[in-house]
Structure 1
């Protein structure tokens, strides 16, 4: 998904937590014309969690026939984007020639590296009938030595991602290693991304990572008797044995990994170097990025 403004930091309600919970971030809904997006990263008080620099929750949205997601081609540099859907379908195209429908349970990993352009639309079969969309989109920073790597695209079908049950909780390890299993998804730095579906009263021990957070896409949780409400992100201290308890039926995402150095973000560009972002802006304005095969006629201009 393209960021719509030059400054991606969103206004959020920030609550100070207990010793285990450093912050609770409650993003405000942003209407993108027919559906809502909630952005928890970056914010003024928390730029990143591990290598994760951007976290958007889109939907759930109901679209009438003829309406839906229609994101024109736009560029990225020096990051990887991750898309994971709970419901619906998005058609991904990029300047490498990739053409891939992503469906619930699949994971798309697009490595921008030195530069890539992509669009997110819908197949006519989806758009021509009433449909729903609900999912998460994240940006993953690359280590400084890999920021200018060659662009790449990886698609992991749902069947290839480990699905296990821990203490009665069904979960999927999407990136990294947790709960005794390891995801096949390519990593560039130590990274954690887990999705879980908990019932009221169930508990789950939070995996140990240098940095970690939990986002509640549906329901609500408790950690050390502190409530983590629906559509909020709890950022945790580096303390072992933290237990999550579902107050009600809850769908959650656990993210984290190793702490990364400072990153600059403007529009859809993220880099450890401000001058790289300026170069990318000028390259986009001058039309020096590659085109998206099959989607060459439109593009999103650089916000002024």
Structure 2
């Protein structure tokens, strides 16, 4: 029996003035472990008059992870953080009871040609931490555990695996791993994984049970412990997952919660503009008109 239970294609989605490839949630698989949302940004070549501009918008009940391959983004939030995210760094923002942030092309790049390419990820919080105080952490590239083994390059971007631990302060058992190959290599890493597990192919190709899988796909494993595959040369994959939560999650816009009441309260709060504002920002993303919930 195949260990691949589901294959998810990247689907186009618009996040304002920027198109992305949406990977999660998917109608047949809302979450993988605590991971509830993944967008693949780019690669996008932007001219000297094109810029990323996502005005202030709120989040509750989750942590966001931004990881860039190319380009730079200025992150500003209602805690007063103002940070430029560069490739290889990790931005980890935990919304808890509520946070507002904006994402824009840095001022010094706005009149030049530029590239933008990366991943934006949401990780749901455990129920007892849904209403925690918001936090923000910026982790430099050199702080991320990285090593080479059997001709492969590994990075443990978040969580714990392979006997290592990332400094990114996660709130439930999970892992987010980068693996790069320069030549064909077989991997059997199931013993280092747990919970639900999935593999995203960024570049190159992956072979499993006689099938070849190419970029812009997520492969969902039936059993993380049976995670075996072959990476073709010049391939980059991301393996992510962890322990799933016992409770279902509701997702509405940028809000994730175990209780619809928390989402309704956040909607009202945003409509009334009573979230703490982002210093220096004056505009905002309005609440979507269509009001619907997506279950886990």
Structure 1 residue 226: Cα displacement: 2.8
1:61-76 residue pairs with structure 2 within 5 A? 61-76=44-59
Aligned to 2:80: 97
Kept after mapping to 2: 8 A contact 1:42/1:48:
yes
Secondary structure of 2:202's aligned partner: strand
**Alignment partners' CA distance in 2, 1:91 and 1:209:** 34
Post-superposition Cα deviations, 1:184-240, rounded to whole Å, max 9, x if no partner, equal 111200011011222341223334211010111122211222332210000002252
Secondary structure of 1:278's aligned partner: helix
Aligned to 1:237: 222
Aligned to 2:43: 60
Structure 1 residue 248: Cα displacement: 4.3
> Of residues 133, 154, 158 in structure 2, which corresponds to 1:175?
158
> Of residues 21, 34, 40 in structure 2, which corresponds to 1:51?
34
Secondary structure of 2:23's aligned partner: strand
Post-superposition Cα deviations, 1:16-47, rounded to whole Å, max 9, x if no partner, equal xx531110101223355775311111111000
Structure 1 moving runs of 4+ over 4 Å: 31-35
- Structure 1 residues 34 and 274, CA, compared in 2 at 3 Å: closer, same or farther? closer
- TM-score normalised to structure 2 length: 0.92
Kept after mapping to 2: 8 A contact 1:173/1:194:
yes
Post-superposition Cα deviations, 1:89-139, rounded to whole Å, max 9, x if no partner, equal 000000000011110000000000000000001212122210101000000
Post-superposition Cα deviations, 1:228-268, rounded to whole Å, max 9, x if no partner, equal 22100000022524222123422211100001131000111
Kept after mapping to 2: 8 A contact 1:87/1:135:
yes
Aligned to 1:220: 205
**Alignment partners' CA distance in 1, 2:278 and 2:231:** 43
1:142-221 residue pairs with structure 2 within 5 A? 142-206=125-189, 207-221=192-206
> Of residues 261, 268, 271 in structure 2, which corresponds to 1:275?
261
The answer for unaligned runs of 5 or more in structure 2 is: 290-296
Aligned to 1:131: 114
**Alignment partners' CA distance in 1, 2:133 and 2:197:** 28
**Alignment partners' CA distance in 1, 2:159 and 2:197:** 13
**Alignment partners' CA distance in 1, 2:276 and 2:199:** 36
> Of residues 53, 77, 96 in structure 2, which corresponds to 1:113?
96
Kept after mapping to 2: 8 A contact 1:216/1:230:
yes
The answer for unaligned runs of 5 or more in structure 1 is: 1-17
**Alignment partners' CA distance in 2, 1:31 and 1:202:** 36
- TM-score normalised to structure 1 length: 0.90
Q: Which moved more, 1:62-71 or 1:135-144?
A: 62-71
Kept after mapping to 2: 8 A contact 1:199/1:246:
no
